[in-house]
Amino acid sequence: MTGIVMDPVQEALDHGLRSLAGLGGDLVDHANRIGATLFSPPRVVIVGRLKAGKSTLVNALIGAPVAETAALEATRLVAVYQDGAPSRAEAVAVDGTRHPITLTRGQTARMPIEEERIAYINRWLPSAAIRDLTLIDTPGLATLTTRNETATRRVLIDGFEQTRTASVDADAAVFLFDSTPRADELAFLQELPLSPLNTLGVLSRADGFGEGALGSRDPIEQAAEHAGRVATRLAHAVSAVVPISGLMAQTSHTGALSEQHARTLAALSALDAEELVDELDRDDDGVIDARMRGELLDLLGEYGILHGRMIARDGAAALNQWLSQRSGVPMLHQLMQSSLSEFAILNRARRVIAYVDQLAYNHPARDQIRMIVHQMRTHPAMLRVALLDDLQKLLAADPYSGVVEEIRTLLLAADPAECVGLPAGSSTQDVHLHANQRLSAAQTQALSTATAAEDAALVDVARAYTALATTGRL
Ligand SMILES: Nc1nc2c(ncn2[C@@H]2O[C@H](COP(=O)(O)OP(=O)(O)OP(=O)(O)O)[C@@H](O)[C@H]2O)c(=O)[nH]1
Ligand SMILES: [Mg+2]
């Protein structure tokens, strides 16, 4: 494809897809369809318990109130938010057929087919915020109405293994929980076909953590400490845990705050803590009128009111900036754009190979297709893709294998020296020496592996050390 800057992984896969199209017939269409995946943004799914704040976070990240959020209504359908114009939506049925949805501003859209038949909704809107990452909102897990959970499982796990028509093909996950993840939620995470490097933990509702806004300690600071402890405990499942207030970010990032809100909030800055609690508890007009009080609570929560009222004296822009910074979402966003995105792109590459591989099952040109898949898989640029695949399979089959740490090091290293356990910036000579030592160790280990997953992983680990020992790079 011309005009697109490709990374080495994309280039290798694009080359393979061109060979596929070169076989002619229906393979031209298949190559184009798979090529569209290769050049589309990787897909990040937001998962978590019922009412954890998933849709609120989606709105905050997109910067527009597109996902439905509510204290009572549950999200019913899986929705895929992607950059595109004009603004439009379609329902993708479980059988793979697509049905346009008529959107009317300010109204809940009517579904073109029965909800039971819908696998997920595709929603396009012109937004720079989702240009590099497509976001997928899901109904809450482990609910009393198991229907929601069924919908989420189908698009993420079952659909992946069966026909794929019902799969949303996630390349990374953001996992939300608001205290400590439950065993069933962790079990669900393990079932996702994604590595921990592709999964970010989010401690949501940080503004209400512990005793809440009116307790003795700052809940956001307490949440940050708790997030650190959970991150250590969940190192096998997530790459980091970030505390956030989706509500505060949603309000500031969607432009929901007006000067009038700031002025009204500032009117509360003269009250002491006790008077403020009384004011927030009232149902009738007090220092501020009841309607405005309700709006402020919806927009800012108790924490935003308590700590934002002094800042509100400087106006809506200052309050907005404080809300965003205090929400933790800019930090989450940055992690999503950097490390999560990096591993999501590798997973997208893995999907591309899997699509081509699937064609080989029942196509007359299966031998040529298999050859193309083989070339794609063994291309030097694809080594990181293979290692990520190995990591995920090894964690499922043999989580205590020593090779797990070895692969993590190879994938997370900042430079070739770190790949072989040396300090960043060590000499090329030292890198070569250590890579050779590690290569022999991996070859020895390969003689007595415990599982097929470990076996396969060691083959790629040995390839990595060979590359480091010869070219000095991965
Ligand atoms: N205080 C506070 N409230 C929040 C936060 N995030 C979400 N909420 C509120 O929690 C309720 C549920 O939020 P949603 O975003 O709809 O949660 P969800 O996870 O999408 O819920 P389901 O899709 O039904 O599982 C709403 O009333 C939100 O305003 C937060 O960070 N702080
Ligand atoms: Mg929701």
pLDDT of residue 351: 94
165 confidence band (pLDDT: 50, 70, 90): low
pLDDT of residue 166: 59
161 confidence band (pLDDT: 50, 70, 90): very low
187 confidence band (pLDDT: 50, 70, 90): confident
CA of 56 to the centre of ligand 1 (A): 6
Q: What phi and psi, each to the nearest 5 degrees, are found at residue 100? A: -60, 145
Q: Is the CB of 245 under 6 A from ligand 1?
A: yes
- Give per-residue pLDDT as tens, 286-341: 999 999 999 999 999 999 999 999 999 999 999 999 999 999 999 999 999 999 99
CATH code: domain 43-194 is 3.40.50
Rounded to two decimals, the pTM is 0.92
370 confidence band (pLDDT: 50, 70, 90): very high
**Rounded average pLDDT over 240-263:** 97
**Rounded average pLDDT over 192-205:** 95
CA of 145 to the centre of ligand 2 (A): 14
CA distance 212 to 120: 35
State which ligand 1 atom lies nearest to the alpha carbon of 302. 1
Q: Is the CB of 70 under 6 A from ligand 1?
A: yes
Mutate to test the pocket of ligand 1, among 146, 247, 295 (most ligand atoms within 8 A of CB): 247
Percent helix, strand and coil across the chain, each to the nearest 5: 55, 10, 35
3 confidence band (pLDDT: 50, 70, 90): low
Q: What phi and psi, each to the nearest 5 degrees, are found at residue 237? A: -120, -30
CA of 175 to the centre of ligand 1 (A): 14
**Rounded average pLDDT over 356-385:** 95
DSSP state for residue 109 in the 8-state scheme: P
pLDDT at 225 over 80: yes
Q: Is the CB of 251 under 6 A from ligand 1?
A: no
Mutate to test the pocket of ligand 1, among 56, 188, 220 (most ligand atoms within 8 A of CB): 56
Q: Is the CB of 140 under 6 A from ligand 1?
A: yes
Query: What residue spans in the chain does CATH classification 3.40.50 cover?
Result: 43-194
pLDDT of residue 183: 85
Q: What residue's CA is closest to ligand 1, atom 4?
A: 247
Q: What residue's CA is closest to ligand 1, atom 23?
A: 75
Q: Which of 355, 406, 345, 407 minimizes the C-alpha distance to 376?
A: 355
Tell me the average pLDDT of the chain. Answer: 92
pLDDT of residue 270: 93
Q: Is the CB of 207 under 6 A from ligand 1?
A: yes
pLDDT at 428 over 60: yes
CA distance 435 to 442: 10
